[in-house]
Amino acid sequence: MFIWSPVRNHMNTTPRYCSMTEAQELEVSGEESDDETANSSSATSRRLRHQKLALSKTKLKKLAREEQDRQQKLLVVQAFHRFYESQYGDRWSKIFRALQEKPRAACLVNKFADMAVFEETMKGVANLRRLSFVSVPLYECDDRFPHPERDDRNVYTYYMLDAASVLATEALRLAPDDNVLDLCAAPGGKSVAILQHLNLPVGSLTANEVSNDRRRRLWKVITDYLPEDLRQHVSVTGRDGTQWSQPNSFDKVLVDAPCSSERHLLQNHEELSKWSEHRTVHCSKRQLALLNAALKNVCIGGLVVYSTCSISNVENDKVIEKALRKKKIDFEVVNDSWLLGEKTEYGWIVLPDTSDGWGPLYFCVLRRLA
């Protein structure tokens, strides 16, 4: 497997990054004398010459392409590490290790379902613990949660998601009668969390998602978690959130913006090989446009929560900084503190190295002033 690991070079100065196979080879080979190195390298080149003669031109071209591809991936990974090391310094190696762990899932109880079914499912779950850093019933356990069951009304009794995601929805300070817009809503975990605070139909939710495929998933989640008679109070829309224009219409807006999703990248090496610093800058432009749209559409005095699952400051505090610098709408940053995570310049971040594996999740609360 192609795993990446920081290693020290022979001068023992700055760390560099190499593939796990390279790291293992370095460990196995150990130190060699100059003579041994010269002998083994001439033997190697003889062997390679022999092999080359035996290989067809097509095979050689294929090998050269593979090698080029490998080198390219290595360069991307080195750039990735340099970028985050410059932001997090010595802490980066701990964050990196924590991000490579399998993401954790907590279980958010669905208040619209029959609790007797929930309790029955949970009977077999070892060491179920309620998480105290949010107001809604959210649980963790020692092992994996079973797949949720449906109740008599065909509604699932719980939703599994990262506990830090629930924290971002708590930051909206939802009231039961709020009219809420979830601007980037698919697949729908945070919409389900928002619904737990609302008293439908007095309160209402508009869940928006621009991608057709992802909107279908969002609609499925809404139908899986809300009884039929309440679904009419949730609108699922498919607009480009940056163009949303219904000024002063919502009490609360959540902008859970598309982002670099580094934890996801680290679980998928093909995706990781597409990373670039340019990509995080590109994401931040779209994020700023979404945030400005949210500020325009929230009521005066209403709250916007901007969130991402990125660990890049360019996509987090820097987006808020730009919005503050080029204020199109008058707003202020609300300073909150939470029991999980840590403060950043403008907002809050949950990083898995210090938050029991939860996260990453960044969020910032903004109040529209005029």
Ligand X SMILES: C[S@@+](CC[C@H](N)C(=O)[O-])C[C@H]1O[C@@H](n2cnc3c(N)ncnc32)[C@H](O)[C@@H]1O
By beta-carbon proximity to ligand X, the closer residue of 18 and 218 is 218
Name the minimum Å distance from CB 294 to ligand X. 11
Query: Binding of ligand X at residue 103 (CB under 6 A)?
Result: no
Q: Establish whether 190 is an annotated binding residue.
A: yes
Note whether 246 binds ligand X by CB under 6 A.
Answer: no
Q: Is 189 in the site for ligand X (CB under 6 A)?
A: yes
Which listed residue (196, 206, 208, 292) binds ligand X by CB under 6 A? 208
Q: How many Å apart are CA 57 and CA 75, to the nearest integer?
A: 27
Determine if 240 is a binding residue for ligand X (CB under 6 A): yes
Asked whether the beta carbons of 340 and 163 are under 8 A apart, the reply is yes
Q: Using CA atoms, how far apart are residues 85 and 79, in angstroms rounded to an integer?
A: 10
Which residues are paired to 235 by β-bridges? 206
Question: How many angstroms separate the Cα of 207 from the Cα of each of 23, 127, 210, 287?
Answer: 47, 34, 10, 17
Q: Which of residues 154-173 bind ligand X (CB under 6 A)?
A: 165
164 is in an annotated binding site: no
Given the residues 18, 107, 259, 309, the one annotated as active site: 309
Q: Which residues of 80-112 are buried (b: 16+ CB within 10 A; e: fewer)?
A: bbebbbeebeeebbebbebbeeebbbbbbbbeb
Strands (E), 13-113: 15-19, 106-109
Contact with ligand X (CB under 6 A): which of 214, 231, 269, 367? 214
Q: Which residue from 100, 242, 249, 344 is in contact with ligand X, where contact means CB under 6 A? A: 242
Specify the length of the chain in residues: 370
Residue 190 found at the interface with ligand X (CB under 6 A): yes
CB of 282 to ligand X, least distance (A): 12
Active-site residue flag, 309: yes
Q: Are 234 and 209 in contact (CB under 8 A)?
A: no
Dihedral of CA 315/136/296/200: which sign? positive
Give the residue with the Cβ less far from ligand X, 188 or 302.
188
Please state the residue numbers annotated as binding site for S-adenosyl-L-methionine: 184-190, 209, 240, 256
Please state the residue numbers annotated as binding site: 184-190, 209, 240, 256
Q: Which residues of the shown chain bind ligand X in the complex (CB under 6 A)?
A: 165, 184-190, 208-211, 214, 240-242, 256, 258
Residues belonging to the active site = 309
